[in-house]
Chain A
């Protein structure tokens, strides 16, 4: 089955700096890659996703890049703010039954 690895497990950045979280996947048939943000004690919420026919997608300060050849994708957050502090999860899906395989999460801490 699919295996998703996520790095780093923790990331601390200063407010205004950029943050990058990287994920690799094993199943070359995977074609959907969402990113979820989970604040403390809350549910995971989708922040951005990308499909395999696209190499990059942006939404304001958030961007995701996908390299199908290398089987990795990354989340980029620019101009970080304290409210960006949370745990971020990447995931991959082959589209079969919409099953997602999640990475183990990255705890992002944005310091003042």
Chain B
């Protein structure tokens, strides 16, 4: 579990501000993911990345931007935060996909974001 970390763990910001959530993993996993968790919705995929410099949209990407210049880091930026982006954000990673097998995703500890 210590292999994937998120910072900050808690963040309060105001509507319209830019916020960046950090995710770092030490396993050299190829795949990284960002989810948001809201009551009644479970975990919804925001963006994911298959490797450095390769990213793709998930189920709820609007209002978010990601980058992946290094394999170990996958920051998530809210360009102009809105109240509806108040949520718990989880980063996850998994090993390289082999054949047609799905791979286990390991989650970070989460970031609780409150947008006022």
Contact = CB atoms under 8 A, between A and B. Distances in A.
B74 interface: no
A75 to B, nearest CB: 15
Interface string A34-71: 10100000111110010100000000000000000000
The majority secondary structure among interface residues of chain A is: mixed
B97 A95 contact: yes
B40 A104 contact: yes
Interface stretch (B41-49, B64-72, B77-85): B41-49
Nearest to A29: B100
B104 A49 contact: yes
A43 B42 contact: no
B9 to A, nearest CB: 11
A43 B110 contact: yes
Contacts of A112: none
Contacts, number: 72
Given A104-B41, A104-B42, A98 B97 contact: yes
Interface residues of A, number: 27
B46 to A, nearest CB: 12
Given A43-B90, A43-B108, A99-B48, A31 B100 contact: yes
Contacts of B102: 31-32, 34, 51, 93-95, 98, 100
Contacts of A96: 97
Given A31-B100, A95-B100, A97-B48, A43 B40 contact: no
A25 interface: no
Interface in A10-42: 31-32, 34, 36, 42
Interface of B: 1, 31, 33, 35, 40-45, 48, 50, 56, 58-59, 90, 94, 97, 99-110
8 contacts: A1-B59, A32-B103, A34-B102, A89-B43, A97-B56, A103-B42, A104-B40, A105-B42
Interface of A: 1, 6, 31-32, 34, 36, 42-46, 49, 51, 89, 93-105
Q: What 10 pairs across the A-B complex have the smallest Cβ distances?
A: A32-B102, A93-B102, A104-B42, A43-B107, A102-B43, A102-B42, A95-B100, A95-B102, A98-B94, A98-B103
